[in-house]
Structure 1
Amino acid sequence: MLTTVVLAALVASSPIYGVANAGDGDSLSIGQTRVRLHGIDAPEFDQQCERGGSKWACGKEAADRLSRLITGREVRCDPVGIDQHGRTLARCSVGYTDVNRTMVAMGYAVAFRRYSSEYVNAEESAKLSKRGMWAGTFDMPSEVRAAAKESQGAGAGRTPSRAVTSTQARSSGASRSGNCVIKGNRSRRGEWIYHMPGMPYYEQTRAEDIFCTETQAQAAGYRRARVR
């Protein structure tokens, strides 16, 4: 999940020890302590990637890989701060195995460059060897989260000047079974976003306007959802 780091660098924190359980591909818990692995970003739990022309559940696989590394084992986590969700940001290890680095090196997480360049080399190695997600194509987890946020809710504002509304689409005989399948959605931040079939969260997006072409959507003041 998206992490806004609130560093506690000036306050020395003792290492956390204990038997761990995995949450998703970049989070775990030790007792009552929730830990977010610092410097890495794994796919969202329900995220899918593509490999060999087929979709696969890379988010669930990442969670499974982390579980294999840490579940039921003694884990040491060295805190570096707290994130916006109240989780401890930490570098974790099992014995001599660096858990954060291993997840990136296996290709089931990427280096979270926004917060650290510590695991960039591990990511480049995974990419070169086509390990994990790098064996095919995928959307960056941060972009998947951003697209999901853009799709939630509607912002108050104007009516698009050239929008092909759902009502107009029905009256003209156009529908999602035809050519008018582009969904326009207005976010709470006032952003006007359109989503194409096949994009992350297309099915979950509530269409406030329907367009037949990207040109129509752009002319109405919408921009394409940002996905990798």
Structure 2
Amino acid sequence: MTRAPFLLLLATVLAATGPAPVTGTAQVVDGDTLRIGDTKVRLFGIDAPEISQQCTRQGASWACGEASARQLRSLVEGQQVACLVRGLDNYGRSVAVCSARAMELNRTMVAAGWAVAFRNYSSDYVADEVRAKAGRAGIWSSSFVLPQDYRLTVASTAQVAPVVGVQSRSSRVAQAPPVMGRCAIKGNRNRKGQWIYHVPGMPYYEATRAEEIFCSEAQAQAAGYRRALVR
């Protein structure tokens, strides 16, 4: 078989077996999440400030989460967005590398300082983050909590605070860390793609950055996580 027909056959097989690409006009949910039609897309390998997150610059708070979302919106507004899906996350979102105007959105957001490299899942954008940090671009001109740590703190605050009716995410960062027995179990996906949870007191608990937080081991297991192995 000659090279051209072989490549055509290979492309056909990959298209048939891999996740279908997601294309179309996009709505911005936050600095690392888009909605294209009925599909919610999480940008692979990056983590942007949550929409409610505040950063601190020269002693004053500013809405860095909203600024990150505006930056992503400026990149996709009025454009056709094409996303190559790599899989689904624990929330059922498509995890993808997306482009608009022949520009990769994932890398652009990190390089411009409006998102950080999500090292838990990829090292693809670490070099872009290092350059953005050195140049004090975007959120690197500020002091800020890593988005994943912010989510952990907000989730802990929401569980500890008494509320009536449906709980909503707090827009404020708690000052106290989560304590044992109060939704302090950390859920995280390891390098092998396995969903693992860590209980306070376990060897890697402090070093683990939570993607989700749980109040009990039963809750973590129901969500598809298994207990971290202690050797």
Q: What TM-score do you get using the length of structure 2 for normalisation? A: 0.63
Specify the alignment match of 2:183 in structure 1.
188
Residue 103, structure 1, aligned to residue 98, structure 2: no
1:71 positional shift: 2.2
Secondary structure of residue in 2 paired with 1:115: coil
Q: CA separation in 2, counterparts of 1:97 and 1:45? A: 23
Q: CA separation in 2, counterparts of 1:144 and 1:184? A: 12
Residue 143, structure 1, aligned to residue 149, structure 2: yes
Q: CA separation in 2, counterparts of 1:15 and 1:184? A: 40
Specify the alignment match of 1:132 in structure 2.
138
How large is the RMSD of aligned CA atoms in angstroms? Answer: 2.3
Alignment gaps of 5+ in structure 2:
1-16, 161-174, 186-198, 201-231
**1:73 equivalent among 79, 86, 90:** 79
Q: CA separation in 1, counterparts of 2:55 and 2:114? A: 11
Alignment gaps of 5+ in structure 1:
1-10, 155-180, 193-228
Q: Percent of counterpart pairs with the same letter?
A: 42
Structure number with greater CO (CA < 8 Å, separation at least 6) is: 1
Secondary structure of residue in 2 paired with 1:23: strand
1:14 positional shift: 2.4
Note if contact 2:112-2:138 (Cα within 8 Å) is conserved in structure 1.
yes
Q: Could you say which structure has the higher helix fraction?
A: 2
Specify the alignment match of 1:64 in structure 2.
70
Q: What TM-score do you get using the length of structure 1 for normalisation? A: 0.64
Residue 117, structure 1, aligned to residue 120, structure 2: no
Secondary structure of residue in 2 paired with 1:59: helix
Q: CA-to-partner distance for each residue in 1:99-152, whole Å, 9 max, x for gaps? A: 000100111100000000000011011001000010121100000011122223
1:184 positional shift: 8.3
CA 140–98 in structure 1, closer or farther in 2 if over 3 Å, else same: same
Q: CA separation in 2, counterparts of 1:49 and 1:93? A: 27
Structure having the higher Rg: 1
1:13 positional shift: 1.4
